Amino acid sequence: MARVMGLLPCLILFMCLYTVVVVGAYSQLSNGLKSRSDFPTGFVFGAGSSAYQIEGAAAEDGRKPSIWDTYTHAGKVVDKGTGDIASDQYHHYKEDVKLMHDMGLDAYRFSFSWNRLILDGHGAINPKGLNYYNNLINELVSYGIEPHVTLSHLDIPQSLQDEYDGYLNPKFIKDFTAYADICFKEFGDRVKHWITFNEPNIQTIVGNDVGILPPSRCSYPFGVNCSIGNSTTEPYIGAHTILLSHASAAQLYREKYQRIQRGQIGITILAMWIEPVSDSPKDIAAKQRMLDFHLGWFLDPLVYGDYPATMRNIVGSRLPLFTEYDSNQLKNSCDFIGLNHYSALLVEDLPTTFSKYGSDYYDDISVKGFFSKSLYNIESTYPWDSRSLQRMLEYVKVKYKNPAVVIHENGLPAYGENCNAQALNDTERIEYLQSYIGSLLLSIRNGSDVRGYFVWSFMDCFELVGGYRFYYGLYAVDFNDSKRKRYPRMSAKWFTSFLAKEKNKEEISSY
Ligand X SMILES: *[C@@H]1O[C@H](CO)[C@@H](O)[C@H](O)[C@H]1NC(C)=O
Question: Active-site positions?
Answer: 199, 409
User: Total binding residues for ligand X by CB under 6 A?
Assistant: 18
In angstroms, give the least distance from the CB of 455 to ligand X.
19
Q: Residues 328, 257: contact at Cβ < 8 Å?
A: no
Contacts of 3 (CB under 8 A, 6+ apart): 362, 363
The burial class, CB within 10 Å (0-12 / 13-18 / 19+), for 162 is middle
Asked if 434 is part of the footprint of ligand X (rule: CB under 6 A), the reply reads no
C-alpha to C-alpha distances, 184 to 125, 150, 151, nearest whole angstrom: 13, 12, 10
Contact region for ligand X (CB under 6 A) — 104-112, 122-130, 225-233, 272-280?
Answer: 225-233
In angstroms, give the least distance from the CB of 432 to ligand X.
14
185 versus 445: smaller Cβ distance to ligand X: 445
92 Cα distance to chain centroid: 23
User: At 76, phi and psi to the nearest 5?
Assistant: -90, -10
The burial class, CB within 10 Å (0-12 / 13-18 / 19+), for 392 is buried
Asked if 449 is part of the footprint of ligand X (rule: CB under 6 A), the reply reads no
Contact region for ligand X (CB under 6 A) — 77-85, 227-235, 252-260, 336-344?
Answer: 227-235
In angstroms, give the least distance from the CB of 171 to ligand X.
19
Q: Report 87-126 residues binding ligand X (CB under 6 A).
A: none
Among 37, 131, 134, 225, binds ligand X (CB under 6 A): 225
Asked if 19 is part of the footprint of ligand X (rule: CB under 6 A), the reply reads no
Show the binding pattern over residues 333-372: x = contacts ligand X (CB under 6 A), - = does not: ----------------------------------------
C-alpha to C-alpha distances, 215 to 389, 395, 397, 467, nearest whole angstrom: 30, 32, 34, 17
53 versus 232: smaller Cβ distance to ligand X: 232
In angstroms, give the least distance from the CB of 311 to ligand X.
17
In angstroms, give the least distance from the CB of 350 to ligand X.
22
Q: Residues 251, 331: contact at Cβ < 8 Å?
A: no
Show the binding pattern over residues 22-51: x = contacts ligand X (CB under 6 A), - = does not: -x----------------------------
| Continuous H helices in 143-194 | 158-164, 171-187
In angstroms, give the least distance from the CB of 343 to ligand X.
18
DSSP at 62: T
DSSP string of 68-125, one letter each residue: HHHHHHTT-STT---SSSTT-HHHHHHHHHHHHHHHT-SEEEEE--HHHHSTTSSSS-
DSSP at 334: -
Amino acid at 336: F
Q: Report 373-432 residues binding ligand X (CB under 6 A).
A: 390, 394, 398, 417, 419, 425, 427
Contact region for ligand X (CB under 6 A) — 224-232, 265-273, 291-299, 406-414?
Answer: 224-232
Contact region for ligand X (CB under 6 A) — 62-70, 199-207, 226-234, 239-247?
Answer: 226-234
What residues make contact with ligand X under the rule CB under 6 A?
A: 23, 219, 224-225, 230, 232-233, 390, 394, 398, 417, 419, 425, 427, 446-447, 478, 480
